[in-house]
Amino acid sequence: MSGSSRGGLRLGVNIDHVATIRNARGGTHPEPLRAAKAALDAGADGITAHLREDRRHISDSDIEDLSRLCASLGKPLNFEMAVTDEMTEIALRHRPHAACLVPERREERTTEGGLDAARGHTVISPVVKRLREAGVRVSLFIAPDPVQIAVAEAMGAQVVELHTGAFCDAIKAGETDHAARLLADLQEGARLAAGRGLEVHAGHGIDFDSVGAVAAIPEVAELNIGHFLIGEAIFVGLDAVIGKMRSLMDLARPS
């Protein structure tokens, strides 16, 4: 994503769970496309959407609509995808600004861990190559693990997105010492990745209580946040929740 946010830190808004609510009734409301427009109007730098293999939230036609919207506004679409032939073909058809390769298991509630790039090397590597050749910026969603970071670089990914889920869960549980150790891992991972020339993103589970610490990691260029923003928007509206998240990010990363 390109952006001119303060402190060089961009906010990608993940709108998957607008589709979750829509799909609960099988109709068209609330529309992810409308949420994407509202998020961009409210100060998001880009839109993220995960087309899962089971289509539990975002649909193929959502991706078509979001691709068209982002292209028309010159805003980046970050397409989250499992490393499968089907998803690779869809990504190559739409050529989003970026594709973030994520692990996916049907029985999981959300993307629970990072991609095991080291173990999946032979499957992931050709997908990274095909996407890059099509002009798509490739990101790997990984734990802040030195081996995964080295493999991501060796595969030719331009970006790593560090999984912040465990850190955010520790904050929510009030486990201060554990959270501090997990934050140190994220800080070290960001430093290592940036040192290898990778752009560093971070995401998963971020809310108002955890955003400051992640945003303060100087190498992090982009946060991708979804569930909390969409949930909190029920109470205060998308505009207000995105505005507050942006200001907490800016506070942590003054220009």
Chain residues in the site for ligand PXP (CB under 6 A)? 14, 16, 50, 80, 100, 102, 110-111, 141, 161, 203-206, 224-228
The active-site residue, picked from 17, 50, 97, 163, is 50
113, exposed or middle or buried, with CB in 10 Å at 0-12, 13-18, 19+? middle
Task: Tell me whether residue 5 or residue 111 sits nearer to ligand PXP (CB atom).
Answer: 111
Give CA–CA dist 81/99, Å, rounded: 7
Residue 18, phi then psi, degrees to nearest 5:
-70, -40
204 noted as active-site residue: yes
50 noted as active-site residue: yes
DSSP, res 219: T
Task: Tell me whether residue 33 or residue 230 sits nearer to ligand PXP (CB atom).
Answer: 230
What is the DSSP track for 236-249? H-HHHHHHHHHHHH
Closest contact distance (angstroms) between CB of 16 and ligand PXP is 6
Give CA–CA dist 25/22, Å, rounded: 6
Residue 243, phi then psi, degrees to nearest 5:
-60, -45
Closest contact distance (angstroms) between CB of 181 and ligand PXP is 21
Give CA–CA dist 111/107, Å, rounded: 10
Closest contact distance (angstroms) between CB of 50 and ligand PXP is 5
Give CA–CA dist 13/82, Å, rounded: 19
80 noted as active-site residue: yes
Task: Tell me whether residue 13 or residue 192 sits nearer to ligand PXP (CB atom).
Answer: 13
Give CA–CA dist 251/212, Å, rounded: 8
Task: Tell me whether residue 94 or residue 204 sits nearer to ligand PXP (CB atom).
Answer: 204
Closest contact distance (angstroms) between CB of 68 and ligand PXP is 22
Which residues are annotated as catalytic?
Answer: 50, 80, 204
